Structures are given as structure tokens and as C-alpha cells.
Amino acid sequence: MAILTILQFIVNIIIVLILLSVLIIGGFLLFKDKHQKQHSVLRNYPLLARVRYFGEKIGPELRQYLFLADTKGKPFSRNDFTNIVLAGKYNSRMTSFGTQEDYKDGFYIQNTMFPLQTSELHIDQSPMISSFIYEIDNERLFNRDEHKIQTELNPYYISEENRVTLGAELKHPFKPKRLVGQSGMSYGALGSNAINALSQGLGQAGTWMNTGEGGLSEHHLSGDVDLIFQIGPGLFGVRDKAGVFDIDAFLELAHRDKIRAFEIKLAQGAKTRGGHMQGNKVTEEIANIRKVEPWKTINSPNRFDSINSPESLLNWVTQLKQQAQKPVGFKIVVSKVSEVEKLVQTMVETNQYPSFITVDGGEGGTGATFQELQDGVGLPLFTALPIVTSMLEKHGIRDRVKIFASGKLITPDKIAIALALGADLVNVARGMMISVGCIMSQQCHMNTCPVGVATTDPKLERGLIVDEKKYRVTNFVTSLHEGLFNIAAAVGVESPTKISKDHLIIKNKDGGVQSIRDYKLKLIDQHR
């Protein structure tokens, strides 16, 4: 009994201390809130206001996990998020009980009555990819028992004869064995652990990684991955200390075997201006790479000083191609059909062609930007992409220029639609972020990412384990390509590279259908 009495006394002391702490903290907050001048609601209703602000803070999580339907979340639904996680963790895209989507107006893939069998597809399945996946032992109400196993994955590479070649006329062309790689994400926008995991995972998967406009770091080089080096208006990685383009720095990069191509970033979906990075993310290492001052906010220009016309753009592309002997292209956001036509006409008139054009939809974007540019500037991808491809076809040069597409393409069906609308290759950014642990907390610009993805804070970065997440990236990329081959079989072609406008149809609100051929003609005729 004496022991019980002592334990009861200790419990009573703990309860009293907790109550006193609550009263002291509550009294302090009450005094502080009553005398602050910023928030009227805190002055009038201190307790309720604190509850309000707490609910406001966790609102995105509440909506994502508790209140929104599985198909409704933004920028991606719960189903979209889950599908990426399942592909990365379990190498599975299996589902059951039919679709949760409404059959609204939009794009639909046209299957054939007599699909191809697996043996009829042109797939390169060698060598196998060594990876890790999880197997579930027991599913409980509040937790899951599972274990990790090593496995050999069929890679689902594009066969040699169906691969896309960038810069075929150059000394060092790029011929990726994938259709899907990583879109531009800079070191600085993402932390070192995220970049390392992506580099190593993408390297294992046998696909490419776009460096983003922040320059080249040792983290990009940690995996055996093909790199597309992005040159933004800030010229990070190819500039001198005065901020002027440094041809020697460019040539030094061009001589690196792992840098397979260069992309000039005129704009991206959420940033139709230069990039932005808060000063608290600009570490000494990042500042050294970019040749800027550490701990100071970076706002790169909204365009290159020397590029103000199609002629100046194509002249620079040609110069870089000749000097590097590697593919050089540029990234754009489309709005005006007349500007696209002027660009294409200039290509024909000057006989200067980029190795590729990356078309980024207005819905694209992963890092920091301004709301007014994120929500209302630029056409969405499925409108912009057919405008560019149609204009190239109209002027008879579609075969001279390859097209990358990007903008919320995180599932095989969306990627297949982009291919049918004219894309040759596809870039994915946010899907890759989710595969390394992103939970869509939308704090990318604040350096407070809770899972260590979009932060350079060492304490937060420790939450991201490279040796775990790299395999999820590999599995996600492999799963995407397996899905693309499944769609290719369904429409009756031997490879996803053969998916065309003949395999896509538009369902209108009135139930009628429209061919992609008519859709593309209408776009370039009505949006001049």
C-alpha cells in the first residue's frame, strides 16, 4: 500500500505541475494577446483565436487526410499521391472495384478491340534492375507490419530501334533508353539528401536528371545518372563573379561525360519569370556553386539580357551546340500562337534548329514563385503542347525538333496523353519529389519542409534517408514505364513511342467526341 500511496502522490504532483504550466502559459499568452496590435481577433477572443490559427495551420493536412474526397485534393488528389507512394514502395499500381473518377469531358485513350500481347511488344528487359521493395505481413487498424526485401525488377526500357535521339547530327548525341526522366529541380530548391537520392535512384533506373537552374553540385554526380544541365537567366554555374556568361565554365561542363544535354530556361509553368530562393536556403555551398552571396535572397532575372527575339535565341542555341557538340534546347511556357509561329518561321528562315523544345504547362512548377504567376499566366500543357507540335508540322520541320512535355504528368495515362498530343519525351518533377518523401505540405519556399525534401536545414534534412528513398525513385520510374507499355498494348502499338493522335479522343460535355486532328487545327486557327 505504501508503494501505491507514493505512486499516487507522484501522479498528483505531475497533474498539479501540468495544470500550473497550463495556467502560467495561458496567462502569459492572454496578456500578450490582449496587448498586441496586429490581430484584432486575438485582442477580443484570445482563446478562440488561438484555436482558429492552429486549425488554419493544420488545415492542409486536415483536408488531405480527413475531409476531401480521394479524387479532389490539390495540386494532386489523395489517389494520385497514394499511387506514387505505392509504386515507389511496393512497385505496384494494382487497384480494385473500378474507377472513382467521373467520366467528365476531356481526353480519353482509344483502346483497340484486339490489343497486343506482351510477347508482341518491343521491350528491352536487360539488364534487370536490383532494387528493394516492401511486402506487407499484417495490416492492422493503426499500424502495418511489413519487411523490406531485395528484388530484381524488369526495367521496361525502350527498345533500341524505338529510342528518341537528341542532336543526331552532333558529335555527342543523347539517346535515352527511357521516355520519362526528372524535370529541372535545383540544388537549393531541394536539399542535398533529396538531390542525392534522386541522382542515385534515377541512375539505377537508367534515366536522366535535369539539374535545374542552380548549377551543378557533387550531389547531382553521386549517382550514375545522365544529366541535362539547365541554364537559367541567372546563369548559375556558367557565370563569373560579375554575373556574366562564362564560356570557359560552359565548356568545362560540356566536357563532362555525364552531362548529356543543355536546356536554356526561358520560363517554367509556375515561373514565367526568373527563379526565387529565400536567403535562409542559400548556404555557403550553394552560394559558392551559384557565385552569389550566402544567406541572401536570390531573384534571378525574368529573361536573359542578350535574348529578346527568336533570332537571338536561335543564334545562341546554335553557338552552344557547335561549341559543346551536345544537344541544346530551351524551355518555354506557351500563351500566344503568333509567337510560336514566329519562332518556328525563324527556324526555317535561318536554318537554325534547337535539339529540343521543352513545353511546360502553366500548371507546372515545384519551388518558390509568386501567386499571380502561378495561378493565372500561361496555357495548360494539354493546350500548349498541341499548339507547338502543330506549328512544327505546319512548317514541315517536326522531325528536326524533339519535344519534352512537363506539367503534372505523374501517371502512365497522363503521360500517354502527352505522347499522343505530340511529345517525344516527358519530364516529371513533383512525382519525383513525392517518391523521395514529399507530403505536399506546400512549404517549399520557407526552408521548413517537414520531411527534408525542399529544405537545406541540416536538422530537417536528416529525416530523409538516401539509402531508403533512392530505391523508391527507381521503383517509381520503372513502374511508370511498365504502365506505359500496358497502355501501348491496349491501343495496339509495339512501343509507347508509337502512341499518336490516332490513339486519343476528346469527349465533350454534351457527350459528343472530337478527334485530336480537329482539336489541333482548331487551336492554331482560333488562338492567333
Return the pLDDT at 232. 92
* Cell, residue 349: 528562315
**In this structure, what is the dihedral angle of CA atoms 70, 72, 76, 77, given to the nearest 10 degrees?**
0
pLDDT-above-70 percentage for the chain: 93
Return the pLDDT at 8. 83
Single pTM value for the model: 0.88
- Confidence check: pLDDT of 165 > 90: yes
Q: Is 412 helix (H, G, I), strand (E, B) or coil?
A: helix
pLDDT for 102-154, tens place per residue? Answer: 788 889 999 999 999 999 999 999 999 999 999 988 877 667 788 999 999 99
Query: How far apart are the C-alpha atoms of 260 and 255, rounded to whole Å?
Result: 10
pLDDT for 45-97, tens place per residue? Answer: 787 777 777 776 777 667 766 766 777 777 888 888 888 989 999 998 888 78
Which of 286, 283, 352 minimizes the C-alpha distance to 317?
A: 352
Query: How far apart are the C-alpha atoms of 433 and 71, rounded to whole Å?
Result: 20
pLDDT for 1-34, tens place per residue? Answer: 678 788 888 888 899 899 888 888 888 877 887 7
- At 445, which helix (H) or strand (E)? none
> Where is mean pLDDT largest: 96-100, 257-261, 271-275?
257-261
Is the alpha carbon torsion for 453, 456, 457, 458 positive or negative? positive
pLDDT for 349-405, tens place per residue? Answer: 999 999 999 999 887 766 666 777 777 778 899 999 999 999 999 999 999 999 999
Domains of the chain: 2-57 (no CATH), 175-488 (3.20.20.70)
pLDDT for 472-528, tens place per residue? Answer: 999 999 999 999 999 999 999 999 999 999 999 998 887 888 888 888 888 887 655
